[in-house]
Amino acid sequence: MILDIVVEDPRWEDADLESHAEAAIAAALTRLRVEDLDWEVSLLACNDDRIAELNAEFREKDKATNVLSWPAQELAAEEEGGDPARPEVDFMGDAALGDIAIAYETCQREAQEAGKSFSDHVRHLIVHGTLHLLGYDHIRDGDATLMEDLEVEILGKMGIADPYNEDTGAGS
């Protein structure tokens, strides 16, 4: 994997973001068996103001959010609850998966509200973002169930409790 991180908010400097991102992305790629190439992922470590701008521009939602993703390829399954297509190297030989943006304040607030560690929440959101890059989504119910189950499985292998279970720290 090739990870390119752009840090716009200096608070991320002390958050060990690179190792969290590498671990989260690698865990998702391994689980989905797409670790055979040096897949490229770009990560923007920003603040709420910046992610609100991006959210307004790309999703027409004028508010901050925790994580956004821009897949390099359209991989979504046609059938609800189906597996997305596998990513492919493009005609130039590039193995780009796409871009992820993550907002510091929202991540921190959500972790505190859910009573979980900031590090675990960041890793969860990067797994979530990586799954979006790989064609998973949560708009349709069947797709949401598939994506959530994958997140829980991947996070469990990383030693992170189920973020959707009220007893183990829901809130994502």
* Cα of 93 vs its chain's centroid, Å: 24
- CA dist list (Å): 104 to 15, 92, 119: 10, 34, 11
- Is 121 annotated to bind a ligand? Reply is no
The reply to whether 128 sits in an annotated binding site is yes
**Phi-psi category of 49—alpha, beta or left, where left has phi over 0 and alpha has psi -120 to 50?**
alpha
Tokens of 28: 């998702």
Is residue 1 within 8 A of residue 43, CB to CB? The reply is: no
Q: Please, are residues 46 and 40 in contact by the beta-carbon 8 Å criterion?
A: no
Cα–Cα distance for residue pair 35/33, rounded to 1 Å: 6
Judge whether 16 and 118 are in contact, CB under 8 Å.
no
Please give the annotated binding residues, written as ranges: 128, 132, 138
Please give the annotated binding residues for Zn(2+), written as ranges: 128, 132, 138
